[in-house]
Structure 1
Amino acid sequence: MCSEYKFSIRYLSQKNSEITTQKFWMTNNTFTADINQTVALSWTTSLADFFNVRQPVKSEIIYKVQGGSIIRNSKHVNYIFDNKTQDVKAIKITVINVNKIDAGLYSAEDETSGNVDGCCLLIVTTKPKKPTLTLSAEHPFVGDTITFTCHSTVQRWPAGYRTSNLTYKFLGNTRGVSNNNRLTIHALTKLEKGNDISCQATDDLHKVSIESDAVTLDPYYGPDNVVLKPGHMALNVTEGTILGPINCTATCYPKCLFKWRLNRTRTFEDFLSSETLVVANIKKNQTGIYRCLVVHPSNTTLLRKTDISVNVQYSPKIKELWLSDKNVTYGSTSPAIYSVSEGNHLTIKLRIKSNPDPQIVIHSSLLKFPTLLYTKLSDDFTTKLPSLKCENSGNFTIQASNGIAYGDNRTVNLEIKCKCS
């Protein structure tokens, strides 16, 4: 009796199992007190003279019994006892303002042999430590399943005295499922933004901890509802003018990253890192599909996109000219005078860069023809003139226009050879 014992347990069937150590004290006299309480301790001894009553801390002496008299240790002022008692075998000590260092085994010890004869155990308790509350994901997203874990520790002395299974309570939770120290919330919603979750721990003596620090739900979401303003799917713009501004918006928290990409040759390439697309003095080679790509800053696998087709229009430019009748073909490097036979339908072939396709007209100082009909193959436009007479010889102007300033033209000198009568 009146001894401290320690035993250790390890599961042999589990490799590298941790060792669990537990202490216990052999005595029938156990007292419990909260920190800062005053508690009365009592036990009996068979010793009648020449013994010491010791405290747990460093086994220092509280008082001695010598010749039937009690001699106080003047260092200890937080103990009250009757030093005039006639019954020294009945030990009664009051501990004032109990602290954790007062916990442990109080004993009566024979001064000569050092044997202990009689003791009591003081257990000092207080509420469990302030819990810590952790969230499984630092930045959960709407729709995620999240788990809170609450952890606290029993505060009970002497250290190692009897383990206690804590129970936990979660505060601020309206719909989660709790299992001991875990709280699980399925399918997090935007409406739960701003909810404060905290927890408390309770030990087997029904002592309740203070609340943990709160964790405020702040779920991330998006990108959703990616919209272009103005909301065009396709847009015509004239070369040399300004494309935009076209604003790309999205529902996203926190603010998403925006990037514009351009597809000109079947491959998208980065074009601009901004929410707003503006292209000053746009060029014809900037025709293509412009894509607004929206990416969440915390998870780049979460992305949305929307496209707009931009058609850059420009004035016609005549690159090459060919004239031909039944007998001869003149290229663009031919002399300035073109000879053709009267009555033949002159074929004109023009290579024109134009968007949109041009109207082609031809006229001279004497004649004016309606807009010519043509066939098109790539950038080559082919048309035929009506039959011309020899008196129609002279300068003819071929003009290509599509409504965008300024168009282009070529002048040719046609010599119409008269038929023999």
Structure 2
Amino acid sequence: MPFIFVFILFGLAWHIQGEQLDIYSKFNDGDVIFTWNNVSSTYHVFNRNTTGNKLIRGYNKTINSTEYTVRKALLYDSIYIKVNVPGKDDFYNITYEVTKVKSLIGKAVNVSWTASYFPKSGIYDVYHSKKNKKIFQIRSNGENMSLTKYIYNTRPYSSENISFEITNITMDDAGYYNGGEHLTAAGSGGGVVLIVKGKPSKPDIIGDRNVEENEYVELTCFSQSTSAPDYYSKLLTLSYTWFVNDTKINITSRTLILNVTKDLKYNRYSCTATEKDLTSDKSDGVRINPLYGPDGITFDTLQTDTVIGKECAKVGPYRCIVDCNPSCEITWKRTHLSGQIDVISNKSHLPRQQLKKDMTSLICEVKWNYQTPIQKTIRLDVQS
């Protein structure tokens, strides 16, 4: 069953001694937007993943703006930002922690963040960005808290520690949760991204499967994450498992590359896609259709290439046997002492033939695509 992840981001503000510098954060469709005021000169902005000090875009970037955005913020365990006003030695640091919680779909999950304050009005609204609406309201006196989908856990109700349970999780519950005295205030306060994980979609195997012998065929296992929200699923990289005739093979890449031989036509290929510990249903099986011309020609009833017979006697029937894909063009010809050549059949099967004194041979000619035709000859020794 799908899993649930919860990411918690905290917004903070700093003040520069002697002048005020307020830094705020806002979560928007997978990005974190940092804003500040009172910009009178250039600011230097640093940011990195604090786990292993992995640098991300914008490191040591100089900007002349009141805004800076960290793209794809859910990739990081936390985001660390430094702001420096030129001419001053001090840096002002903020770390935005990201907390993860796992659960199963259909179960319940606890969501929590720390609000900057609880409104004096005694009313705090909680919003869900995916549903684009207020989902419930907290009153400091506990009124109107008879919720079903959401169970508010914080006591006293006026505490800045916002904590509630989301029950019976579905994909529709994914998205960003935040709160505040009104919608604008909620946008700059604390919040949580709820990620609902589902197994990847059943793959389709794409690629041209009609490939000539000794060439290469590429089969691609095409699947997509079904996790929500979209800005999370777009960050994911799926892993793949390939099967030949339902037996797992040691190939984990999205694309399977094969050298085409005739024997591949007997194999059936399928694959699955995996998002961490969630694996898709197996794809429908596909087969390679190797394209190849004849290696040679055989006759089904002849042990020798020469047939001896009296004039007016009948010989045959004969069958010209070749292995081609797609089928070869087969033509039977008859030659005479005069050099005359007659086309006598356009099928692999040649009916019985009556011998005549001037007949010299029967020829099976095979042609495949653009290749030079090949022939095999039955010599005729016609006796009086």
Q: Same fold (TM over 0.5)?
A: yes
Match of 1:171 in 2: 243
Q: Which residue of 1 is the match for residue 106 of structure 2?
A: 36
Check the 8 A contact 1:4/1:23 in 2, yes or no.
Answer: no
**How does 1:246-285 map onto structure 2 within 5 Å?**
246-251=318-323, 257-264=329-336, 270-278=343-351
Distance in 2 of aligned mates of 1:238 and 1:83: 110
- Counterpart pick for 1:60 among 109, 133, 138: 133
Does 2:292 match 1:211?
A: no
Structure 2 vs 1, CA of residues 90 and 291 (structure 1 numbering), >3 Å: closer, same or farther? same
- Structure 2 distance, partners of 1:267, 1:96, is 90
Q: Per-residue CA shift, 1:146-187, capped at 9, x if unaligned? A: 333223223332112261222323233999884732223336
Cα pair distance change 1:187/1:53, threshold 3 Å = closer
Partner of 1:340: none
Q: Map of 1:139-178 to 2, 5 A cutoff?
A: 141=213, 143-161=214-232, 163-172=235-244, 178=251
% identical equivalent positions = 23
SS at match of 1:171: strand
Q: Give runs of aligned pairs for residues 281-296 of structure 1, distance below 5 A.
A: 287-295=359-367
Deviation for aligned residue 1:70: 4.3
Structure 1, unmatched stretches of 5+, are 8-20, 314-403, 405-421
Cα pair 2:291 2:325 within 8 Å, conserved: yes
Q: How many residues are treated as equivalent by the alignment?
A: 293
Q: Assess if the C-alpha contact under 8 Å between 2:307 and 2:379 holds in 1.
A: yes
Q: CA deviation at 1:126?
A: 1.9
Q: Matched residue of 2:297: which SS? A: strand
1:180 is aligned to 2:253: yes
* Aligned-residue offset at 1:288: 3.9
SS of residue in 2 equivalent to 1:71? coil
Distance 2:130 2:29 in 1: 17
Structure 1 CA distance for aligned equivalents of residues 262 and 348 of structure 2: 27
Task: In structure 2, give the amino acid aligned to 1:40.
Answer: N
Q: Which moved more, 1:247-256 or 1:86-95?
A: 247-256
Deviations, residues 123-143 of structure 1 (Å, cap 9, x unaligned): 1112222222235432554x5
Q: Is the 8 A contact 2:140 2:156 kept in 1?
A: no
Aligned to 1:3, which of 27, 48, 51? Answer: 27
Q: Is the 8 A contact 2:243 2:249 kept in 1?
A: no
Q: Cα distance 1:293–1:113, how it changes in 2: closer, same or farther (>3 A)?
A: closer
- Deviation per residue, 1:227-258 (Å, 9 max, x gap): 22223433355554434222323355676553
Query: Secondary structure of 2:266's match?
Result: coil
Would you say 1:127 and 2:199 are equivalent positions? yes
In structure 2, the CA distance between the partners of 1:140 and 1:130, relative to structure 1 (3 Å rule), is farther
Contact 1:70 1:84 in 2 (8 A): no
What amino acid sits opposite 1:4 in the alignment? N
Match of 2:165 in 1: 94
Question: Which structure's CA Rg is the greater one?
Answer: 1
Q: CA contact under 8 A between 1:168 and 1:181: conserved in structure 2? A: yes
Counterpart CA distance in 1 for 2:107 and 2:26 is 24
CA gap of 1:163–1:277, structure 2 versus 1, over 3 A, is: same
Superposed, 1:282-361 pairs within 5 Å as 287-295=359-367, 299=369, 301=371, 304-310=374-380
Counterpart residue identity of residue 127, structure 1: K
Deviation string for 1:5-64 (max 9, x for gaps)? 577xxxxxxxxxxxxx96547964554555434211111221232221112333322222
- Mapped partners of 2:254, 2:291: distance in 1: 25
Matches of 1:150 and 1:157, distance apart in 2:
21
SS at match of 1:160: helix
Moved over 6 A (4+): 173-177
CA distance in 2: counterparts of 1:248 and 1:231, whole angstroms: 13
Superposed displacement of residue 105, structure 1? 0.9
User: Structure 1 length as normaliser, TM-score?
Assistant: 0.57
Once the two structures are superposed, residues 68-88 of structure 1 have per-residue CA deviations (whole angstroms, 9 ceiling, x without a partner) of: 3343587xx432224975344
Q: CA RMSD in A?
A: 3.9
Residue identity in the other structure for 2:210? E
Rate the CA distance shift 1:41–1:113 in 2: closer, same or farther, 3 A: closer
Residues 262 and 270, structure 1, Cα contact 8 Å, conserved in 2: yes
Partner of 1:234: 306
C-alpha distance in 2, partners of 1:310/1:244?
12
Match of 2:87 in 1: none
Task: Find the counterpart in structure 1 of residue 177 from structure 2.
Answer: 106
Instruction: State the shift of 1:289 in Å.
Output: 3.3
Q: Which amino acid aligns with 1:125?
A: K
Structure 1 residues 83 and 269, CA, compared in 2 at 3 Å: closer, same or farther?
farther
Secondary structure in 2 matching 1:310:
strand
Q: Report whether the alignment pairs 1:138 with 2:138.
A: no
Decide whether aligned partners of structure 1 residues 231 and 34 sit closer, same or farther in structure 2, where only a CA change above 3 A counts. same
